[in-house]
Amino acid sequence: MKKNVITSSILWAFCLVIALPGLAIAQDVGAHADGKTGDSQSGKALYRRFCVGCHGEEGNGLGENAQWLDPRPRDFTTALFRWRSTPTGNLPTDQDLYDTITRGIVGTLMPTWKPLNPQQKVDLLAYIKTFSPRWKTQKPGTPIPIPAETPEVIESVLHGRELYDKMACWKCHGPDGRGDGPSAPTLTDDKNLPIRPYNFHDGTRFRCGETNQDLYKIFMTGLDGTPMPSFADIIQPNDAWDLVHFLRTLQPFVHSKSRELWLQYAKTHPDIKPIGVE
């Protein structure tokens, strides 16, 4: 009897020694979004079918097709993600990644993945997270609060315009928001590849989202891995809404109350020439 216990303890210890390094390599931390729990093994099969051609076998963004793409596919081994609800420097929440996969990334070759069902998307997340040890050592940040939007009135637009100037958004995005500011030609991303600031004039949707809340989130979280910084430490929430309202005036192809107010205001202020009006 006693001998049996000893033998089985030795056997257990042996199994652990074998199993532990295996676990450490897999880095499986799971994923939870949309009320589902992800399974990285199922995710792996889906990844090999749908994602590998761009994001690569090792998750390093160097899939077979990557060299033809601009922007390049994301490198999952650094776990640097652009579209997050969490402060700059933090991992995104699983829900952030889930939303990105569902929506796709407008204006790039990252498609929308509407045909995948919710469980498959969460399984994919569980697998993507095995590529970087950051998921094991760090927790996703707490999503930044987005307070209720302030009214769209001309005072808000005018103040937002001052902020666009004061915060030097124009240095990259250009005085008219066409993505052609003086710094624009010098900008590179975390892979040292040239990156263009967003062109508000031509764009109708943002890379990840289209609502005023999405817009608010973009400059309060920053886009990690790009020169687009976070302004959370220097812009107060009310001011941030003013900035959102001004940014809307730069978009002639997007209907917004702010732009209407701006066009109205310009009629009695000849010094102002709204963008997109000849």
183 binds ligand HEC (CB under 6 A): yes
CB 74 within 8 A of CB 55: yes
CB 41 within 8 A of CB 185: no
Give which of 263, 240, 247, 261 is closest to 149, Cα–Cα. Answer: 240
Give which of 210, 215, 219, 224 is closest to 255, Cα–Cα. Answer: 210
Q: How many residues bind ligand HEC (CB under 6 A)?
A: 47
108 binds ligand HEC (CB under 6 A): yes
Strand (E) or helix (H) holding 36: strand 36-37
CB 209 within 8 A of CB 221: no
23 binds ligand HEC (CB under 6 A): no
From the CB of 32, what's the least distance to ligand HEC, in Å? 16
Residues 62-81 that bind ligand HEC (CB under 6 A): 65, 69, 71, 73-74, 81
169 vs 234: CA distance, rounded Å: 13
135 binds ligand HEC (CB under 6 A): no
Determine the interface stretch with ligand HEC among 10-18, 163-171, 249-257, 262-270 (rule: CB under 6 A).
163-171
- Which of 13, 133 has the CB closer to ligand HEC? 133
177 vs 169: CA distance, rounded Å: 9
- Which of 8, 41 has the CB closer to ligand HEC? 41
Rounded to a whole number of angstroms, the distance between the first and last alpha carbons of the chain is 94
261 binds ligand HEC (CB under 6 A): no
Q: Which of 219, 239, 245, 258 binds ligand HEC (CB under 6 A)?
A: 219
Strand (E) or helix (H) holding 37: strand 36-37
51 binds ligand HEC (CB under 6 A): yes
Contact residues toward ligand HEC (CB under 6 A) are 50-51, 53-55, 65, 69, 71, 73-74, 81-83, 97, 100-101, 105, 108-110, 113, 124, 128, 167-169, 171-173, 183, 187, 195, 197-198, 206-208, 215, 218-219, 223, 226-228, 231, 243, 247
